[in-house]
Amino acid sequence: MSDPKDNKGKAPEAPKAEDAPGNKLSTKAVEALLESNAALKNELAGMDKDKAAEALRKMDIAELLTGLAVGGKNQKDMASYKFWQTQPVPRFDEAANDAGGPIKIIDPEKVSKTPDTLIEGFEWATLDLTNDDELQELWDLLTYHYVEDDNAMFRFRYSKSFLHWALMSPGWKKEWHVGVRATKSKKLVASICGVPTEVRVRDQKIKVTEINFLCIHKKLRSKRLTPVLIKEITRRCYLSGIYQAVYTAGVVLPTPVSSCRYYHRPLDWLKLYEIGFSHLPRGSTKARQITKNHLPSTTSTPGLRAMEAKDVNAVQDLLERYSKRFALNQAFTREEVEHWLLHKEEAGKEQVVWSYVVEDAETHKITDFVSFYNLESTVIQHPKHDNVRAAYLYYYGTETAFTQDQKALKERLLMLMNDALILAKKAKFDVFNALTLHDNPLFLEQLKFGAGDGQLHYYLYNYRTAPVPGGVNDKNLPDEKKMGGVGIVML
Ligand SMILES: CC(C)(COP(=O)(O)OP(=O)(O)OC[C@H]1O[C@@H](n2cnc3c(N)ncnc32)[C@H](O)[C@@H]1OP(=O)(O)O)[C@@H](O)C(=O)NCCC(=O)NCCS
């Protein structure tokens, strides 16, 4: 089973028998783990394949996934990351260290005013995404070269409206939309982008750049262009006085602050089956799978309605209080809430975000909200389907979270999230994806989300803090005792 998200940390609908609770890693999962963990691969090199797999099965999955399993040999681990070992990021062996804060103090005077030179034939570009032609160029690069699954069956297909939304949030800076062009043809061949925001890391509020859309044209891979791109956006951030960043990746790098797992809830099971996203579990039938995933046609939370402009203040207040329950969370301004959550109808623009609030009939207070965004993938070379529409669970919040009654919170979220599934189905999504962050372990399995086979690792640049839980236990399954860590959803 594969999904573009495998590379950014996601995967199939139906947990395969060997991935089921309490069972061991499948051979494919072992191979995938080794692919994403250079240090481990080195450790196990030369060992017989079956023996290596057996050794891996005995290790702690959570540690494996975060690259921490190689015990006292971390010198060598770090040494295999030729670029990342030079960067202000925590080393693997520092992960348990509690003392938090910036790793390197940056003197703005000493930051170079000019970019590093690129390999011959290429030049730096700053993308002007307010210009439709340049937005189109970025769209073209990403549509044909961005994240794919390992089997090259699916590739992310961010819409132009999505790129506009993701890259022009309040305070956005043109300088942080970095491109590389071929000098002669001026063709855009690589990108790395950032937007400014503030995050709280264990109560320390820090200004950061959210990094996204690192992409290199397929013909320019493995030429060490990534480090050059990362150094360039870092330089541009430093020059703007921002010295920290947050980013996610499906690959293990030094050193994840947390690791979450993707879960998938089929909305159109048959289509997912036809495109090879979902499998038919042994002993089941297509009809049974369709029935299993069937949803009611109407929502059940009283007072649930689409979010409107008048709800922005109430949603911001609830989101801020809800977010602070997580060690790593995003601090939202009113403008950010409006930008990220409020859909504004615009002619010729696709809808990107769907947000709903629950208004109490008597007090008219907003007691809950939930949102999801649209991220399609191209189905590569399929005779019947050319895309898959995925809804990704985005931010949500509920007053029930402050009652200290976990059972009540679980019940509330089961109802709210089932309604979100119904609304996504109505909006013609094929699948609903969610990570194990926020309070998601309370409802994922009960609402028939299937375990993905990828992880999403969270990273902080130039900031050190002890790891935070990613909602999964040492069997990599959702665990209510592992909540309270990640409260940031990255696109
Ligand atoms: C990810 C991608 C840019 C890497 O390019 P590449 O040509 O394979 O790698 P390069 O030779 O340029 O650079 C290798 C270095 O980049 C690092 N690297 C690879 N992927 C990375 C990522 N997603 N984030 C940060 N660093 C990464 C490697 O670890 C290596 O550094 P190291 O020596 O310290 O280990 C490229 O494969 C790509 O565009 N993939 C599709 C889009 C994608 O997956 N983007 C990342 C989304 S998180």
The percentage of the chain sitting over the pLDDT mark of 90, rounded to a whole number, equals 80
If you ran DSSP here, which 8-state letter would residue 478 be given?
B
Predicted TM-score of the model (pTM): 0.89
DSSP letters for 272-339: HHHTTSS---TT--HHHHHHHT---SS--STTEEE--GGGHHHHHHHHHHHHTTSSEEEE--HHHHHH
Kindly state whether residue 434 falls inside one of the protein's structural domains. yes
Q: Based on the domain organization, do 223 and 271 belong to the same domain? A: no
Neighbouring CB atoms inside 10 A of 161's CB total 17
pLDDT band at 94 (very low <50, low <70, confident <90, very high): confident
Dump pLDDT digits (tens) for 168-225. Answer: 999 999 999 999 999 999 999 999 999 999 999 998 999 999 999 999 999 999 999 9
Kindly state whether residue 17 falls inside one of the protein's structural domains. no
Q: Using a 6 Å cutoff on CB, does residue 141 contact ligand 1?
A: no
Kindly state whether residue 313 falls inside one of the protein's structural domains. yes
Kindly state whether residue 68 falls inside one of the protein's structural domains. no
Whose C-alpha lies nearest to ligand 1, atom 32? Answer: 81
pLDDT of 150 reads: 82
Kindly state whether residue 28 falls inside one of the protein's structural domains. no
Domain that holds residue 411: 258-487
Q: Using a 6 Å cutoff on CB, does residue 147 contact ligand 1?
A: yes
From ligand 1's centre to the CA of 200, what distance in Å? 27
Q: Using a 6 Å cutoff on CB, does residue 216 contact ligand 1?
A: yes
Q: Based on the domain organization, do 330 and 442 belong to the same domain? A: yes
pLDDT of 198 reads: 98
From ligand 1's centre to the CA of 312, what distance in Å? 38
Kindly state whether residue 214 falls inside one of the protein's structural domains. yes
Tokens read off for 464:
């050190």
Active site residue 393: no
- CA–CA gap between residue 301 and residue 123 (Å, rounded): 54
From ligand 1's centre to the CA of 220, what distance in Å? 11
Query: Is the model's pLDDT at 156 over the cut of 90?
Result: yes
Tokens read off for 430:
């094929």
Q: Based on the domain organization, do 264 and 239 belong to the same domain? A: no
From ligand 1's centre to the CA of 251, what distance in Å? 9
Whose C-alpha lies nearest to ligand 1, atom 1? Answer: 215
Q: Based on the domain organization, do 228 and 286 belong to the same domain? A: no
Q: Based on the domain organization, do 271 and 188 belong to the same domain? A: no
Query: Is the model's pLDDT at 3 over the cut of 50?
Result: no
Q: Based on the domain organization, do 240 and 263 belong to the same domain? A: no
At CA 314, angle to CA 308 and CA 316, rounded to 5? 100
* CA dihedral of residues 66, 201, 89, 74 (deg, nearest 10): -40
Q: Based on the domain organization, do 185 and 282 belong to the same domain? A: no
Q: Based on the domain organization, do 280 and 367 belong to the same domain? A: yes
Dump pLDDT digits (tens) for 397-445. Answer: 999 999 999 999 999 999 999 999 999 999 999 999 999 999 999 999 9
Dump pLDDT digits (tens) for 358-377. Answer: 999 999 999 999 999 999 99
Q: Based on the domain organization, do 235 and 309 belong to the same domain? A: no
- Which atom number of ligand 1 is nearest to the Cα of residue 7? 44
At CA 336, angle to CA 226 and CA 303, rounded to 5? 125
- Which atom number of ligand 1 is nearest to the Cα of residue 251? 23
Q: Based on the domain organization, do 340 and 217 belong to the same domain? A: no
Q: Using a 6 Å cutoff on CB, does residue 223 contact ligand 1?
A: yes
Kindly state whether residue 12 falls inside one of the protein's structural domains. no
Dump pLDDT digits (tens) for 26-83. Answer: 555 566 556 555 555 655 665 566 666 665 555 544 455 554 443 333 334 788 999 9
Number of domains in the chain: 2
From ligand 1's centre to the CA of 52, what distance in Å? 26
Q: Based on the domain organization, do 298 and 406 belong to the same domain? A: yes
Mark which of 249, 274, 294 sits at the end of a domain.
249
Q: Using a 6 Å cutoff on CB, does residue 221 contact ligand 1?
A: yes
If you ran DSSP here, which 8-state letter would residue 265 be given?
E
The CATH number of residue 355's host domain is: 3.40.630.30
Q: Based on the domain organization, do 232 and 310 belong to the same domain? A: no
